Amino acid sequence: MQFEMHDNVKGKAMSYPVTSQPQCATSCYQTQISDWHTGLTDCCNDMPLCLCGTFAPLCLACRISDDFGECCCTPYLPGGLHSLRTGMRERYRIQGSIGHDWAALTFCLPCSLCQMARELKIRE
């Protein structure tokens, strides 16, 4: 393969073989997994949230969605609450799984909403 160099001298293209791959520096991006700051059944630790979660869960869900930076209508969408809880877990690197999120929201909706609201309150 011929090409013209900057000083108008013709020469051959030089190939430089890759002898090593880029490596991660010693200070790679490391993530630390954490837990929820409060348990699923710690609802009574914050009575106003507990009452709101018990008697007006959709209002609390809309507030959580808004505080999390999503549209307040997200809880009304199919799977909206599940995506909020999973998104919160992912953003804050909280241990768990989509299955755990589904179980918490399906079987303990008021407690789960209160836990999510407390988590956002603590992390503000």
Q: Per-residue pLDDT tens for 67-88? A: 999 999 999 999 999 999 999 9
User: 63 in a domain, yes or no?
Assistant: yes
User: 109 in a domain, yes or no?
Assistant: yes
User: 100 in a domain, yes or no?
Assistant: yes
pTM attached to this predicted model: 0.72
Q: What mean pLDDT is predicted for residues 8-17?
A: 63
For the purposes of burial, counting CB atoms within 10 Å of the CB of 101, is it exposed (0-12), middle (13-18) or buried (19 or more)?
buried
User: 78 in a domain, yes or no?
Assistant: yes
CA distance linking residue 111 with residue 43, whole number of Å: 6
Torsional sign, CA 62, 59, 53, 105: negative
- Give the count of domains, the chain: 1
